[in-house]
Amino acid sequence: MKPNDLNSVEYPEYYQYYIDQLPQEDLIKLLRNQKLEMLSFLANLQDESLNFSYAEGKWTVAEVIQHMIDTERIFQYRALCIARKDKTLLPGYDQDAYVPFSGANDRSVASFIIEYQTVRDSGISLFQTFTPSMLNERGNSNGQPLSTAAAGFIIAGHEKHHLNLFKINYNL
């Protein structure tokens, strides 16, 4: 399945921005390629750069990386619930409330590499198990419609968005 295979009713409109940034690649191929790009990005960081923020009140590099990992985990869980036809209304999450309690600014690049790789590998394994029917399954997340496949592409688009912001705002 590729991003253009999604129907706009499978996800909230505000995620269209993320999906529009993606190349027209199969979801698994996309997640694997992004993993290599993100690991390369992380490997080129220095521990000293993790606490850099481009403006007062903006997240540090470490906080953004942790946010990316947290968001991926949350969307993997959403995808799993939806694929398994769990009709529980999945809650939203307040990303700004997570950051102060993440401990991100006390971490090393090496620790982020390990965590990111583990989470992404887990997601790739999860999405590989989904049949076409499971990928097309729809549920409710934060009061909005979401399909299993859309959750996977949102993971990819969210990561692409933040990697672009690292280049633009953080000069990384």
Q: Give pLDDT tens digits for 30-72.
A: 999 999 999 999 999 999 999 999 999 999 999 999 999 999 9
| Average pLDDT over all residues of the chain | 97
CATH number at residue 28: 1.20.120.450
Closest C-alpha to 69, from 97, 90, 98, 37: 98
- Picking from 166, 160, 169, the residue whose alpha carbon sits closest to that of residue 20 is 160
3-state secondary structure of 115: helix
54 three-state secondary structure: coil
Q: What are phi and psi of 138, to 5 degrees?
A: -120, 145
The torsion angles phi and psi of 135, rounded to 5 degrees, stand at -65, -30
Please tell me the distance from the alpha carbon of residue 140 to that of residue 118, in angstroms, as a whole number: 27
Residue holding tokens 């912001």?
Answer: 165
Please give the tally of structural domains in the chain.
1
172 Cα distance to chain centroid: 19
Terminal Cα distance for the chain, rounded: 31
DSSP-based three-state secondary structure for 2 = coil
pLDDT by residue for the chain (172 residues), tens only, comes to 999 999 999 999 999 999 999 999 999 999 999 999 999 999 999 999 999 999 999 999 999 999 999 999 999 999 999 999 998 889 999 999 999 999 999 999 999 999 999 999 999 999 999 999 999 999 999 999 999 999 999 999 999 999 999 999 999 9
Distance between CA atoms of residues 79 and 167, nearest Å: 29
The domain of 87 spans 3-169
Q: Whose structure tokens read 């698994």?
A: 28
Name the amino acid, one letter, at 111.
S
